[in-house]
Chains A and B, each alone.
Chain A
């Protein structure tokens, strides 16, 4: 097997492992094709099993004849390995570097992973577009499921089945696709049951420097408007950026051609800026020597919370247009695969209570991120410790999870899942034994990589009752209302569960969480007891009553 060539020294004895919050462990380090393993062969110490794919960056240091490797992981953890022997250390380091940056997706661990559990419900079949379309059909007949992209030829980043206005035929879609970036013609993202308004998403229109227009495009989106009503186009780029895009063949909908639409520009940054922001934020969080002034100024300079605020504000705007203004909304940026999806998915969390359930959130991730063609493989190839030239890496999905956490924090009773569930998704988007987040599009996942046949879905594992237990929010009370989070800076906080996770012990907070679970469980237990006693009492009374009433 090819891995063997990359592993020059498969094992070293006497390696010392330093980890946050855990005592030192001395043991044997082993490298396998996919894991870095450290075992002390003692029963009571925990072993380290680290996926190579989880390693973001390594640093080497040498003192005398022994070396140290600092391993910086994509989940932001930093561990240290002290390795006796210069050569061993160099060999291990170069193997880790090679194994953690494998080019070929099909060599990734999910293709080799065999589940140690029985798959009861296959996650790959859980969220099929046909099924969710049935729900839509029960509410409205204005939309249809089109197979125009069945072989991914019209739009390589779209799934084979998309929902489009009923009266728009596939020929029209073909024309519209040629007018939208990446062939991403407007498709339905969300139907607001309460008032029948919809949210659509697309790629930017290819207006170009000469102001091209496409009547079919206009017709398609106008078909979604109610008579006499106007719609909103939310462009996630600043006006100037959208203007500049014209020179490169892109652009935005011209008022003259879309008179029934009002265009609003917001400023959600693009990937390189966001990646830079993540790097700065994590750097600030990891340096414990900062004074208060320096910490606050570094936090500000990272701009991470500004990005959170901007994304949430835009999502609130979209939700407001739909719910308050009763208008149809079309969201796009440039490609329609990043900021667009942040906005459409967050808006749904605000508008649709089902997205705040565990299954519903999974469905949302599946629909608005995986099926919608967010390039996970590219975006999550590197995390906060990346350096050098980037190739489209960006924490787009992490920002979405962070925004979700901010909403969850403000509405702690309205979500069926807890913070741990969001952290789990963050981890698995970056490194995983499951196939769910591999690849960049539905086409890659099903046609090229054949993930459903060759890998296990994250959902298959997470939806087992014994796993689910840890992700259920004990405070959850279904709340059918639209929720409006505050986006004021005072209301937004650093997501400690991710960014300070390895820097400060969460013991006391975890204890508080357990206490909360305990209080609620005890209450439920009592309720059960009381109810059964009440039933008994009622029974006794009915049995007893003939004695009293002759």
Chain B
């Protein structure tokens, strides 16, 4: 490929980030999708770096031992290389810089990734997640809600999915009128329906209300949503922005609902900051995680100064507010921010997780992401920098959602069917584009790219490895897996997500994890149950061959049990 200047460099040293005095020597290969470092040892250990995951390639000053090259990845892994020849180093840097910033979708790895599936298997994989099925699960369509064809061929809103659910009384003219009164035509539609009490979560973008504009259709739409919850007398409109930002938008002819024009709504501002604030904040927390041997003061100061946990708390608070309104007050909520694809997605999906135990299962979580993020037009390619485009569009919106889920896992260890590893893996896939799910910025764009024919779906792949991603403490009949979660959001309940932001401390991954120990125990338990049932099936007095399975019994002492001796990280 023309972008690879040097396909192979020898005598490269890969430096151990936990102990800079240690390194391994080997050969660096550049393919069109990966950089591969192969150790010159008998084991020929390989380190693969996906180019689409590379966020930056830096060349610190030349040292006597060689030409250093630092590769930083979007999942916060860092690789440090020492290359003997300056020319090679420059070539690798240039190649990687180019390869990690594709200009066209076609260059992304999902289009060349081939997991050896035939066409049927591929199609089946794409239908693994069934969003209509999820609405059916919630009891929709019903006598109050229906699926509208208004957006087929993305005629009304090109960033919305073609299937949309609206109140029965919302006629096509109300839909079109409301869409005209909302930023980018993102009119209020159903995101989640709480079967227990008919309260719902709807989502939209901001109204184009400015200082005085109004739209009868939009008002009718809101009224229709409120009426679809027969027992209620009002509904909440949650504007997830800080009030000041929302007010500033009015000058641009946008803003928020005027309570004088909409009857029976209560406006609530939550105060989640915009994507630019979040991007800067995350950069700071990444820096905090990557400082080598900081003092406790440096670390805590950095944590505070980044503002990151404050933002995570704001997202969580939004979800908690909505979930409480729906479950406890029985009041429907319309959620919006500016365009309704970032903060709105965060708030709706956190609320859904709190409200509905299904979304806390592995499959349910996939459905939730496919619905509130992928289908509703979260701009994955812009936010996660899949292509070489405007860096100001990049922002860790999804990262924050995943972190909210992790913070919930810390508070409710038995509530989730999946584990932290699943969140981390998903985070990597969102950025890496090995699969087509998170490609582009809307359903329409993905259709135009024909991703279902040209790429693969990540969900069946993750599903296949569910043993790896399951939480051993999860039990479908446990009290934490029932009903609504009510997290505490006092600041001390939020923790630094070490596994995400401190991958440098790889040694800690080798340390004991109670979850892994338990998983091993559960696996062994399962084997025991199987053996027990086979023993019991054997009719009494029958003697059979003694060779049966005796060897498949390891004593459950594989990993996790004994500690490995490893380095103190300082």
Contacts and interface: CB of A to CB of B under 8 A. Distances in A.
Interface of A: 285, 288, 290-297, 299-300, 303, 305-306, 308-309, 313, 316, 320, 410-414, 475, 477, 479, 481-494, 500, 503-505, 508-509, 511-512, 515-516, 519-520, 522-523, 526-527, 529-530, 533-534, 537-538, 540-541, 544-545, 548
Interface in B384-434: 411-415
B295 A320 contact: no
A512 B413 contact: yes
B298 A489 contact: yes
A485 B411 CA distance: 24
A297 B473 contact: no
12 contacts: A292-B307, A292-B310, A296-B300, A300-B304, A486-B569, A491-B508, A503-B492, A508-B412, A516-B514, A523-B525, A526-B532, A533-B536
A208 to B, nearest CB: 34
B293 interface: yes
B260 interface: no
A296 B303 contact: yes
Given A295-B491, A296-B303, A413-B563, A541 B543 contact: yes
Contact of A511 (B297, B299, B478, B560): B478
A548 B301 CA distance: 78
B398 to A, nearest CB: 21
A488 B543 contact: no
Interface stretch (B209-217, B319-327, B374-382, B516-524): B516-524
Contact of B532 (A486, A491, A533, A537): A533
Nearest to A491: B508
Nearest to B561: A477
B226 to A, nearest CB: 34
B511 interface: yes
B566 interface: yes
B565 interface: yes
B565 A487 contact: no
Given A313-B570, A412-B514, A479 B563 contact: yes
A38 B140 CA distance: 55
A413 B543 contact: no
A306 to B, nearest CB: 4
A293 B494 CA distance: 12
Contact of A490 (B299, B415, B488, B556): B299
B155 interface: no
Interface string B331-348: 000000000000000000
Describe A's contact surface by its main secondary structure. Answer: helix
Contact of A300 (B297, B508, B562): B297
Interface in B285-318: 289, 293-301, 303-304, 307, 309-310, 313
Interface residues of B, number: 73
Given A508-B480, A541-B546, A493 B495 contact: yes
A481 B563 contact: yes
Nearest to A545: B543
A491 B502 CA distance: 9
Given A414-B563, A488-B570, A491-B508, 5 more contacts: A410-B512, A481-B563, A489-B298, A490-B496, A519-B522
Contacts of B493: 504
List of 9 A-B pairs having minimum Cβ-Cβ separation, nearest first: A489-B299, A512-B413, A295-B491, A296-B304, A300-B300, A292-B310, A544-B543, A526-B528, A306-B296
From B301, B491, B501, B535, name the one whose CB has the most chain A CB atoms within 10 angstroms.
B491
A411 B413 contact: no
B492 A500 contact: yes
Contacts of A540: 541, 543
A481 B565 contact: yes
B507 interface: yes
A474 B413 CA distance: 17
A411 B301 CA distance: 27
Contacts of A504: 488, 490, 492-493
A485 B568 CA distance: 6
Given A413-B514, A414-B512, A516-B473, A486 B505 contact: yes
Contacts of B514: 412-413, 475, 516
B498 interface: yes
B557 interface: yes
Contacts of B566: 484
Contacts of A285: 492
B565 A483 contact: yes
B567 to A, nearest CB: 6
A530 B295 contact: no
Contacts of A529: 528, 532
Contacts of B501: 490
A483 B413 contact: no
B531 interface: yes
B529 interface: yes
A169 B502 CA distance: 54
Nearest to B298: A489
A299 B301 CA distance: 10
B357 to A, nearest CB: 14
A483 B472 contact: no
Contacts of A303: 296-297
B480 A306 contact: no
A308 B297 CA distance: 12
A523 B512 contact: no
Contacts of B521: 519-520, 523
B473 A489 contact: no
Contacts of A516: 473, 514, 518
Contact of B511 (A291, A410, A523): A410
Given A305-B296, A306-B297, A413-B517, A530 B478 contact: no
Interface in B56-88: none
Contacts of B562: 413, 477, 479, 481
A296 B413 CA distance: 24
A482 B565 contact: yes
Contacts of A485: 568
